[in-house]
């Protein structure tokens, strides 16, 4: 039963973070939430008995992609105030 | 109903959400996030569905590993293109530039 | 025998190769290009003469290979193809000579002669095609290779005419393709065969066969300029005179008419066509076109446009002839394929001569041109009388034979059409002749050029006279073997008793 | 022997990709020309071998399907391998002359070119659903890289658009693969087809096929999913455009067609087949119309690709629940259409590149008077156009002839209208360009004359597409060879 | 054009329908048994694969062609990425992130991560882990160092970088071709050498993967060095 609860919560959290990554107003926050999504995916892979993917997801999905996107968002949207409306928020 | 199936079904929902994002969100970075979320959804279906019947299946797991590497390659390439595009056009969407924006890059 | 395989291919290749060589030659290579052109034309004429002799003795020339699943590429020489091939070989030689003179000093000659040769190659292919598929192949090639000739001058008017030409012919081609594909689906790949294929056909097929026939005639009728599909022809008059000559006398309109002959004789068969009841409406349509073209010609003020409407009228003689159920009428129609070619090319050469030497384009500028250019005007007179059907010229032979045939077939109304059309022909040609010979020349020609001893350039002078003489000979010597009439009778003989 | 040919086919492009990565553009050109030679010989050799002995399945690494990855080496696959060799070597040769070697980033052209080639070979021979996915990604990413190479903002926008469309398409395909694997536990196309033939169509596989075909249609730019194609193909450098239009879009179509032919009979439906055919027809009409409306020469050619791709999708309705003979006709017609469009479109893009190079502008009006000075490029363009108009004796004509027969034979006469109208519409846009070039302007020769080799290459391709019509029987006969079930050589 | 909300509505409906259909299909598929039992087939052949860990066996032996092409995809992305990169100094101060979180991460994590990478690589043959994970970790380390302002000149687009990009891929390729020369089929490792070869491949792959990912990260920033121009006249 606890396992079901855990799985249910995890899936719920996955969907919520995915939704937040897509629809949150602030792009920076969206990327941070996306990193959280990646970490949750890593946990999900552990639950699916796939430790290899969990490792890869943590390193690549959450880690590298996250850093790449964070770096990008800071350059695409964040630096100059004039672009905030175009870059940060759609 | 097993936990694997639950994850597979979650994958289906993630795919739909990602698809919406990819189609409707204008900002390129959002599109990229949406692509990655879609990808995660596909990977969940890929592993979750076969494992529903009998324990861990290494073959889809290996496929998903390959898929993740392809996805990161695509993402990284997209980021490079995007930043270069932004540098040259000052735009973060794929809309055709309006005439006053057309000449040259800014920054 | 190898030669029997290679002769048709060689006849085709001479002009194809000539085209390739000419495209590759530099624009300035005037002498070499002329040499290649004339050489190829002579070689081809030689090959055709050999083949005519062979076909007469009953040799089978042919080559075929499978091109795509279910269809073959077939080249075959029978009496009918040799008629068309002979016409195109003779007239190519003359027109080449003429065109060399006509286009002297004008730009883009390399392009012109290249496509000119391609055009003749297509005509040759049409003549030698052994089934509808091969026929269609060359038929479309003809469309494409004539387009650059029509728009050759590159003026707005030329490009507009080119567009009209393309819209008509490509649409016609699409309709023809549909008909051929449908026919293939109904009956398989049909080679052209004397007597046709549908002598004992299944009545269940009748509806499809009638539908296919209508589509075939519609597709071919565009090139043959049958009313109401003739609209492109008068517009295409902006092309240079040798091109008009070629389009009218040999290549395009004749390809359409020839195609209709092929369909009626070698695909459906005369008997099957008449059983299907498709010949009679076609005859009416042809008759109407004959009169319509003549009437329209009455009101033209531009010489070449007048000749164009005259062509619309004359080509339908061929179609009318083959629709007459009977060997004599058929021979009349077929012989007109040659006669009209020779007469019409004479007239166009003359029109070109007037335009090139004196700058005359319109009828009211022609006053007294007979005194300045007697030879050309003589040729024009011969051509015009031929068209009217005055004995003993070529046109008379046509009309006489067709009239006899119509009486044989019991289609008396055709006589009325022939007479009326002759009157109309006279009505638009005789005033021109009157202007040529009996009016005083103006003090100043619109744009005169002089070429020393002859009235015009030798390159333009001799072809015109030759065709005029041939027009006379074709009439006078009609009863000799190998005259157009005898050959047409040979074809009809083989057609009606295969 | 066959082993070596396979090795050459699969691995030399990859090896050359690495080799050229280490050189600069000029050296890369020499290395590439040697590689092209090897590839052409190998492709030809394999084609001849298959033409003699028939096809076979090849298990890579000694592992047969379903555990390993198997390659399906049959007549159709080697025909496309050969087509790729011809078109890619022409484009490579052209690019070597055409592309400015002094720009630093052009050194990356060659590795991307070779990766593209290897991806294409992998797709033609692929018999494994997931392996095809990786092959597709290999093609897509290298194609995107080629479009973006040294590009300006517009090129980057086009390539980003292209990238996103390609990724979306691949994901849809991959989801279908996931469903099929969940259903059958096998990734081999042949294996799944066998399983499907034995049982009635299981639930869920319909959606899998729909997802895969939709994803692949997006990558093939089927109307209305075509918007990404014209900007990308129009803005890339001409040799790249040629590669993209001639080969890259065909790769995804090829997979879709294979899937349909293997699975369609059991899990497809008449309505779905008609729908795909309808979209293809809409593509023919709409693409041609847009091509006619363009002001830029290369945009005309790019939109023409949208139209020509439309024909390919007539395969779906013309092979669904029809007789063997009709289905075969349709397949042969589509194969010919793929080949002849590949050759003709490559010729057209290369010739268009030459024309643009000489008049110094991409606009159609700029071509006025060019027919007098650049007859060769224009002639190649026109000859390729004849194939697009599907007039005889080109390969495009034979293709259309077979499709006409198939439509009439299957009773689906409504496609006839599409086939005939498509030819006329393509005539409209091709002759629009011809017309522009025939306009006479008083100026004398003001054009840059490109090197002769640039002019010869498209001419060769155009002549090949012409010759294809005359020799289609020979080409198609290789396709129809009996298939040896015997395993690896 | 359609109003924005209409498009949004249509897209929403499309995505909902798709998700629903997908879920239904998954549910339906989950109800049937699979006709092919691939995991069993795999475990039967495991002893011939040379490694103990099934995922590694699939990746580097049974389906090694996939992996080869996948590395190709990665290299392509790297090439396309560095083709956009400028040769200007990588020590551009603007590139340095002043993020304190990252700075802290860098100080503590870099050594740890390198060790982790080594472990992952070494463990790959028997336990979960392997070239991808190790490569990703190395790359992540590099990214951290880079963000901390360490220049890493070898990532400048040059021969060295290109060698690094191609290395793992070419070793893999050489093994594939060499195995064919040895008489086996492609990508079939000679018996006995399997384990050694797989370890070699894994190691160079780690290096290359890290290199590609880092190169992509480094080439993403754009500075004012020069505007790219249209190369060809097209």
Comparing D336 with D372, the larger pLDDT belongs to D336
- Collect all residues of chain E within an 8 Å Cβ-Cβ radius of residue A67: 140, 143-144, 147, 217
Strand D56-59 and strand C71-77: the pairing is unpaired
B79 close to D (CB below 8 A): no
Residue D129 pLDDT grade (very low, low, confident, very high; cuts 50, 70, 90)? very high
Tokens at residue C491, please? 């074809």
Question: Which chain A residues touch E55 with a CB distance below 8 Å?
Answer: 52
Among chain D residues, CA nearest to E230: D151
Residues 6 or more apart whose Cβ sits within 8 Å of residue C452: none
Burial class (CB in 10 A: 0-12, 13-18, 19+), E165: buried
C and A touch per CB criterion (3+ pairs under 8 A): no
**Block residue for tokens 């059991």:** D266
Residue D197, number of CB atoms within 10 A of its CB: 11
Give how far D439 is from chain C: nearest CA, Å. Answer: 5
Q: How many residues does chain C have?
A: 498
Percent of chain B with pLDDT over 90: 44
Residue among C117, C145, C132 nearest C176 (CA): C132
CB pairs under 8 A between D and E: 207
Query: What confidence score (pLDDT) does residue E13 get?
Result: 92
CA of E151, closest CA in chain A: separation in Å? Answer: 16
- Residue-wise pLDDT tens digits, D408-452: 888 888 999 999 999 899 999 988 888 888 776 665 566 777 888
Tell which wins on pLDDT, D347 or D149: D347
Q: Which residues of D touch B59 (CB under 8 A)?
A: 187
**Regions of chain C with pLDDT less than 70:** 1-3, 200-201, 248-249, 497-498
Maximum C-alpha span of chain C? 72
Residue D253 pLDDT class (50, 70, 90 cuts)? very high
CB neighbour list of residue D15: distance below 8 Å, 6 or more residues apart: E170, E173, E177
User: Over 90: is that where the pLDDT of D168 sits?
Assistant: yes
Q: Which residue has the tokens 């020499």?
A: D30
The number of helices, as runs of H, and strands, as runs of E, in chain B is: 3, 0
Contacts of D133 in chain B (CB under 8 A): 67
Chains A and E touch, contact meaning at least 3 pairs of CB atoms under 8 angstroms apart:
yes
Q: Is B55 on the interface with E (CB under 8 A)?
A: yes
Token pair recorded at residue D375: 């007859």
- Chain E CB contacts of B49 under 8 Å are 26, 29-30
Q: What ranges in chain E are assigned the alpha helix state H?
A: 4-31, 38-45, 54-57, 64-84, 100-123, 131-147, 159-181, 194-219
Q: What are phi and psi of E89, to 5 degrees?
A: -55, 140
CA–CA distance, D61 with E186 (Å, rounded to integer): 5
CA dihedral E187→E193→E195→E197, nearest 10 degrees, is: -60
3-state secondary structure of D485: coil
Q: What is the pLDDT of residue D445?
A: 61
Domain tally for chain C? 1
CA-nearest residue to E127 within chain A is: A52
**Inter-chain touch C185–D420, beta carbons under 8 Å:** no
Q: How confident is the model at residue A82 (pLDDT cuts 50, 70, 90)?
A: very low
Q: Which residues of D touch B52 (CB under 8 A)?
A: 182
Per-residue b/e over B87-96, b at no fewer than 16 CB within 10 Å? bbbbbbbbee
Contacts of B62 in chain A (CB under 8 A): 52
Distance between CA atoms of residues B68 and A53, nearest Å: 9
Tell me, yes or no, whether D248 lies in a domain: no
CB C262 within 8 A of CB C223: no
Whether residue D480 has pLDDT greater than 90: no
Range with the largest mean pLDDT of A67-76, C272-281, D397-406, E55-64: D397-406
> pLDDT category, D122, cuts 50, 70, 90?
very high
- Entry pTM: 0.90
Phi, psi of D296 (to 5 degrees): -100, 140
Q: What is the pLDDT averaged over residues D87-99?
A: 91
User: Residue B58: what pLDDT?
Assistant: 87
pLDDT at E93: 46
Residue E156 pLDDT grade (very low, low, confident, very high; cuts 50, 70, 90): low
Question: How many of the other CB atoms lie within 10 Å of CB of D224?
Answer: 11
SS3 D435: helix
Instruction: Output the pLDDT for position E225.
Output: 41
Residue C348 has what pLDDT? 87
Give the best-scoring range by mean pLDDT among C190-194, D149-153, D270-274, E230-234.
D270-274
Q: How many domains does chain D have?
A: 1
Q: Cα–Cα distance between C428 and D262 in angstroms, integer?
A: 70
Q: Across the interface, do E139 and A56 touch by the CB < 8 Å criterion?
A: no
Instruction: List residues bridging with D296 in a β-sheet.
Output: D363
* Helix, strand, or coil (residue D296): strand
Is residue D423 within 8 A of residue D394, CB to CB? The reply is: no
Closest CA to D152 of B85, B106, E82: B85
As a whole number of Å, the end-to-end CA separation of chain C is 24
Contact D111 E79 (CB under 8 A): yes
pLDDT score for B105:
36
Interatomic CA distance for residues A77 and A74, integer angstroms? 6
Q: Does A71 touch chain E (CB under 8 A)?
A: yes
- pLDDT band of E227, cuts 50, 70, 90: very low
pLDDT, mean over chain D: 87
Contacts of A41 in chain B (CB under 8 A): 40
Q: Does E61 contact chain D (CB < 8 Å)?
A: yes
Q: Between residues A86 and D240, which one has the greater pLDDT? A: D240
Fold (CATH) for B3-91: Helix Hairpins (1.10.287)
- Among B7-11, B31-35, E186-190, which is the least confidently predicted range? E186-190
Locus of tokens 């895969």:
D212
The 10s digit of each residue's pLDDT in D16-58 is 998 888 888 888 888 888 999 999 999 999 988 888 888 888 8
DSSP string, chain B: --HHHHHHHHHHHHHHHHHHHHHH--SHHHHHHHHHHHHHHHHHHHHHHHHTTSS--HHHHHHHHHHHHHHHHHHHHHHHHHHHHHHHH--SS-SPPPGGG-SS---
Show the tokens assigned to E120. 């992952």
Query: pLDDT tens digit string along A12-66?
Result: 999 999 999 998 888 888 998 999 999 999 999 998 888 888 888 888 777 788 8
Does A7 contact E at CB distance below 8 Å? no
Residue D365 has pLDDT above 60, yes or no: yes
Query: Is A63 within 8 Å of E136 when comparing Cβ atoms?
Result: yes
Question: Which structure tokens are listed for D464?
Answer: 């090949």
State the angle between helix axes of D324-359 and D452-470 in degrees (0 to 180), rounded to the nearest 10: 160
The full set of domain ranges for chain A reads: 2-88
Q: A53 and B68 in contact by Cβ < 8 A?
A: yes
Q: D132: closest CA among D140, D141, D145, D123?
A: D123
Report which of D227, D192, D190, D368 is spatially closest to residue D303, judged by C-alpha positions.
D227
Tell me what pLDDT residue B107 has. 32
* Helix orientation angle between D153-184 and D189-198, rounded to the nearest 10 degrees: 40
Q: Which residues of D touch E159 (CB under 8 A)?
A: 22
Cα D344 to Cα D437: distance, rounded to the nearest angstrom: 19
pLDDT digits over C319-350, tens only?
A: 888 888 777 888 888 888 888 888 888 888 88
**What would the mean pLDDT of E205-231 be, rounded to a whole number?**
65
- CB contact, 8 Å: B76 with chain D? no
How close B53 comes to chain E (CA, Å)? 8
Q: What is the pLDDT of residue E186?
A: 66
Instruction: Please indicate whether, in this complex, the C-beta atoms of B35 and D157 are within 8 angstroms of each other.
Output: no
Residues 6+ away with beta carbon under 8 Å from E112:
none
Q: Which chains touch A (3 or more CB pairs under 8 A)?
A: B, E
Contacts of A60 in chain E (CB under 8 A): 132-133, 136
Picking from C63, C491, C8, the residue whose alpha carbon sits closest to that of residue C264 is: C491
Q: Which of E136, E144, E216 sits opposite A56 (nearest CB)?
A: E136
Nearest to E28 among D18, D112, D203 (CB): D203
Contacts of A82 (CB under 8 A, 6+ apart): none
In this complex, is the C-beta atom of A15 within 8 Å of any C-beta atom belonging to chain E? no
Contacts of B72 in chain E (CB under 8 A): 136, 213
Count Cβ neighbours within 10 Å for each residue of D365-389 and write b for 16 or more, e otherwise.
Answer: ebbbbbbbbbbbbbbbbbbbbbbbb
Phi, psi values for residue D236, rounded to 5°? -65, 165
Q: What subunits make at least 3 CB pairs under 8 angstroms with D?
A: B, C, E
pLDDT at C264: 87
- Asked if the C-beta of B6 comes within 8 angstroms of chain E's C-beta atoms, the answer is no
Q: How far is E8 from chain D (nearest CA, A)?
A: 18
Q: Is B65 on the interface with E (CB under 8 A)?
A: yes
B7 contact residues in A (CB cutoff 8 A): 7, 11, 44, 47-48
Query: What average pLDDT does range E154-176 have in this prediction?
Result: 78
| Residue of chain B whose Cα is closest to the Cα of D131 | B63
In this complex, do A53 and B25 lie within 8 Å of one another by their Cβ atoms? no
Distance from CA of C194 to the nearest CA of D (A): 26
Strand segments (E) across D179-240: none
Contacts of C219 in chain D (CB under 8 A): none
Q: Decide if pLDDT at E76 tops 50.
A: yes
List of chain A residues whose C-beta atoms are within 8 Å of the C-beta of residue E216: 68
The Cα of E183 is separated from the nearest Cα of chain A by a number of Å equal to 33
Confirm or reject contact between B80 and chain E (CB < 8 A): yes
User: Which of A67-81, C359-373, D326-340, E31-45 is the least confident region?
Assistant: A67-81
By residue count, chain B amounts to 107
**Whole-number pLDDT of residue B22:** 92
- Contact between residue C243 and residue C158 where contact means Cβ atoms under 8 Å apart: no
In chain E, what percentage of residues exceed pLDDT 70? 71
Neighbouring chains to C with at least 3 Cβ pairs closer than 8 Å = D
Residue B69: closest C-alpha in chain A: A60
Please give the ipTM for the structure prediction.
0.87
Q: What is the mean pLDDT of residues D98-115?
A: 86
Residue D141 domain-assigned (yes or no): no
Q: Do residues B70 and D174 lie in contact, with contact meaning Cβ atoms separated by under 8 Å?
A: no
B21: nearest CA partner in chain D: D168
Give the pLDDT score at B100: 47
DSSP state of D363: B
Angle at Cα D213 formed by Cα D167 and Cα D89, nearest 5°? Answer: 65
- Specify whether the CB–CB gap between A34 and B36 falls below 8 A: yes
Which residue on chain D is closest to B50 by alpha carbon? Answer: D182
Chain A's closest residue to B13, CA to CA, is: A15
């Amino acid at each position: 039963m606890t396992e079901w609860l855990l799985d249910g919560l995890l899936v719920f959290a996955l969907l919520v973070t995915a939704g937040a990554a897509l629809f949150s107003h602030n792009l920076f926050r969206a990327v941070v939430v996306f990193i959280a999504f990646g970490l949750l995916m890593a946990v999900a892979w552990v639950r699916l008995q796939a430790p290899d993917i969990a490792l890869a997801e943590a390193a690549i999905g959450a880690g590298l992609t996250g850093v790449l996107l964070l770096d990008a968002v800071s350059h695409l949207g964040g630096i100059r105030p004039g672009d905030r409306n175009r870059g940060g928020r759609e | 109903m097993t936990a694997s199936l639950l994850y597979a079904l979650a994958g289906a929902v993630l795919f739909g959400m990602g698809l919406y994002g990819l189609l409707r969100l204008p900002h390129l970075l959002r599109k990229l996030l949406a692509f990655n979320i879609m990808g995660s959804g596909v990977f969940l279906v890929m592993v979750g569905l076969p494992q529903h019947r009998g324990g861990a299946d290494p073959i889809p797991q290996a496929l998903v590993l390959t898929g993740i590497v392809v996805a990161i390659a695509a993402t990284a390439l997209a980021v490079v293109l995007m930043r270069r595009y932004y540098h040259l056009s000052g735009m973060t969407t794929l809309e055709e530039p309006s005439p006053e924006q057309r000449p040259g890059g800014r920054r | 025998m190898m030669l029997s395989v290679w002769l048709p291919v060689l006849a085709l290749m001479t002009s194809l190769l000539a085209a390739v060589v000419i495209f590759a030659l530099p624009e300035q290579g005037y002498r070499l290009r002329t040499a290649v052109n004339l050489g190829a034309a002579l070689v081809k004429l030689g090959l055709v003469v050999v083949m005519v002799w062979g076909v007469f003795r009953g040799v089978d020339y042919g080559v075929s290979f499978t091109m795509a699943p279910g269809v073959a590429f077939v080249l075959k020489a029978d009496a009918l193809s040799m008629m068309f091939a002979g016409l195109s070989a003779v007239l190519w030689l003359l027109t080449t000579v003429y065109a060399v003179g006509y286009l002297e000093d004008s730009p883009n000659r390399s392009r012109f002669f290249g496509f000119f040769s391609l055009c003749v190659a297509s005509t040759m292919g049409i003549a030698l095609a052994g089934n509808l598929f091969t026929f269609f192949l060359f038929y479309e090639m003809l469309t494409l290779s004539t387009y650059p000739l029509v728009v050759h001058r590159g003026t707005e008017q030329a490009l507009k005419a080119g567009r009209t030409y393309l819209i008509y012919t490509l649409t016609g081609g699409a309709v023809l393709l549909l008909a051929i594909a449908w026919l293939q689906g109904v009956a398989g790949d049909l080679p052209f065969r004397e007597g046709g294929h549908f002598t004992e056909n299944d009545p269940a097929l009748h509806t499809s066969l009638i539908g296919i026939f209508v589509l075939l005639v519609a597709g071919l009728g565009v090139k043959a300029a049958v009313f109401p599909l003739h609209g492109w022809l008068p517009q295409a008059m902006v092309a240079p005179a040798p091109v008009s000559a070629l389009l009218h006398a040999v290549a395009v309109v004749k390809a359409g008419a020839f195609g209709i002959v092929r369909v009626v004789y070698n695909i459906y068969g005369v008997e099957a066509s008449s059983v299907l009841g498709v010949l009679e409406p076609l005859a009416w349509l042809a008759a109407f076109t004959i009169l319509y073209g003549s009437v329209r010609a009455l009101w033209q003020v531009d010489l070449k446009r007048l000749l164009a409407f005259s062509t619309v009228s004359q080509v339908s003689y061929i179609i009318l002839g083959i629709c007459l159920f009977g060997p004599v009428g058929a021979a009349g129609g077929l012989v007109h394929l040659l006669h009209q070619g020779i007469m019409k090319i004479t007239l166009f050469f003359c029109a070109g001569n007037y335009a090139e030497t004196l700058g005359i384009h319109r009828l009211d500028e022609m006053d007294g041109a007979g005194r300045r250019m007697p030879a050309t005007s003589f040729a024009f007179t011969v051509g015009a009388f031929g068209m009217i059907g005055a004995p003993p010229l070529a046109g008379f032979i046509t009309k006489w034979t067709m009239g006899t045939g119509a009486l044989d077939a019991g289609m008396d109304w055709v006589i009325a059409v022939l007479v009326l059309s002759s009157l109309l022909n006279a009505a638009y040609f005789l005033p021109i002749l009157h202007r040529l010979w009996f009016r005083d020349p103006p003090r100043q020609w619109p744009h005169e050029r002089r070429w020393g001893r002859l009235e015009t350039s030798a390159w333009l002078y001799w072809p015109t006279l030759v065709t005029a003489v041939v027009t006379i000979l074709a009439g006078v010597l009609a009863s000799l073997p190998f005259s157009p009439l005898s050959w047409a009778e040979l074809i009809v003989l083989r057609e009606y008793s295969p | 022997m066959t082993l070596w040919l396979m090795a050459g086919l699969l691995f030399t492009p990859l090896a050359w990709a690495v080799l050229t990565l280490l050189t600069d553009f000029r050296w890369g050109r020499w290395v590439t020309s040697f590689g092209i030679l090897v590839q052409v010989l190998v492709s030809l050799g394999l084609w001849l071998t298959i033409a003699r002995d028939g096809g076979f399945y090849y298990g890579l690494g000694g592992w047969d399907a379903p555990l390993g990855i198997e390659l399906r080496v049959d007549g159709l696959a080697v025909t496309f391998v050969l087509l790729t060799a011809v078109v890619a070597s022409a484009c490579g040769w052209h690019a070597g002359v055409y592309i400015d070697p002094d720009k630093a980033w052009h050194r990356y052209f060659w590795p991307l070119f070779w990766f593209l080639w290897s991806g294409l070979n992998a797709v033609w021979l692929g018999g494994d659903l997931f392996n095809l996915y990786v092959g597709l990604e290999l093609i897509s990413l290298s194609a995107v890289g080629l479009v973006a190479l040294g590009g300006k903002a517009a090129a980057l926008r086009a390539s980003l658009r292209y990238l996103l469309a390609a990724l979306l398409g691949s994901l849809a395909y991959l989801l279908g693969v996931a469903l099929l694997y969940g259903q059958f536990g096998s990734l081999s196309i042949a294996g799944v087809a066998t399983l499907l033939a034995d049982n009635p169509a299981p639930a869920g596989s319909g959606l899998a096929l729909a997802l895969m075909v939709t994803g692949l249609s997006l990558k093939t730019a089927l109307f209305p999913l075509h918007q990404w194609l014209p900007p990308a193909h129009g803005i890339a450098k001409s040799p790249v455009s040629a590669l993209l239009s001639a080969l890259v879009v065909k790769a995804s179509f090829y997979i879709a067609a294979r899937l349909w032919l293997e699975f369609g009979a059991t899990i497809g439906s008449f309505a779905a087949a008609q729908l795909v055919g309808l979209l293809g027809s809409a593509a023919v009409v709409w693409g041609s119309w847009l091509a006619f409306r363009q002001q830029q020469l290369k945009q005309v050619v790019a939109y023409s690709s949208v139209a020509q791709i439309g024909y390919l999708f007539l395969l779906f309705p013309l092979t669904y629940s029809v007789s063997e003979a009709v289905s075969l006709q349709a397949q042969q017609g589509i194969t010919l259409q793929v080949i002849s469009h590949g050759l003709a479109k490559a010729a057209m893009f290369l010739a268009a590149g030459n024309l643009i190079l000489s008049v110094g502008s991409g606009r159609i009006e700029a071509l006025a008077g060019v027919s007098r000075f650049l007859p060769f490029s224009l002639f190649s363009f026109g000859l390729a156009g004849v194939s697009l108009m599907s007039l005889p004796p080109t390969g495009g004509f034979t293709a259309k002839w077979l499709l006409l027969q198939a439509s009439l034979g299957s009773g689906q006469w409504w496609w006839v209208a599409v086939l005939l109208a498509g030819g006329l519409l393509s005539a409209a846009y091709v002759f629009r360009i011809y017309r522009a070039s025939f306009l006479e302007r008083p100026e004398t020769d003001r054009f840059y004359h490109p090197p002769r080799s640039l002019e010869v290459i498209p001419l060769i391709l155009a002549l090949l597409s012409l010759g294809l019509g005359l020799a289609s029987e020979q080409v198609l006969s290789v396709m129809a060879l009996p298939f040896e079930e015997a395993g690896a050589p | 054009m359609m109003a924005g909300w209409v498009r949004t509505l249509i897209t929403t409906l499309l995505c909902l329908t798709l998700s629903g259909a997908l879920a239904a299909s998954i549910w339906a598929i989950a109800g049937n048994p699979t006709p092919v039992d691939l995991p069993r087939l795999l475990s039967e052949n495991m002893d011939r694969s040379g490694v103990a860990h099934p995922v590694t066996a699939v990746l580097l032996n049974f389906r090694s062609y996939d992996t080869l092409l996948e590395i190709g995809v990665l290299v392509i992305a790297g090439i396309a990425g560095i083709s956009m990169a400028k040769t200007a100094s990588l020590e551009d101060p603007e590139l340095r992130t002043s993020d304190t979180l990252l700075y802290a991460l860098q100080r503590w994590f870099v050594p740890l991560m390198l060790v982790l990478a080594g472990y992952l690589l070494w463990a790959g043959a028997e336990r979960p882990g392997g070239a991808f994970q190790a490569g990703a970790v190395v790359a992540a380390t590099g990214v951290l160092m880079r963000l901390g302002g360490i220049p890493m000149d070898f990532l400048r687009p040059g021969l060295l970088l290109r060698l690094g990009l191609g290395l793992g891929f070419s070793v893999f390729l050489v093994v594939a071709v060499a195995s064919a020369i040895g008489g086996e089929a492609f990508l079939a490792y000679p018996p006995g050498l399997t384990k050694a070869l797989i370890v070699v491949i894994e190691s160079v792959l780690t290096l290359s993967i890290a290199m590609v990912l880092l190169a992509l990260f480094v080439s993403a920033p754009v500075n004012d060095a020069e505007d790219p121009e249209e190369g060809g006249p097209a």
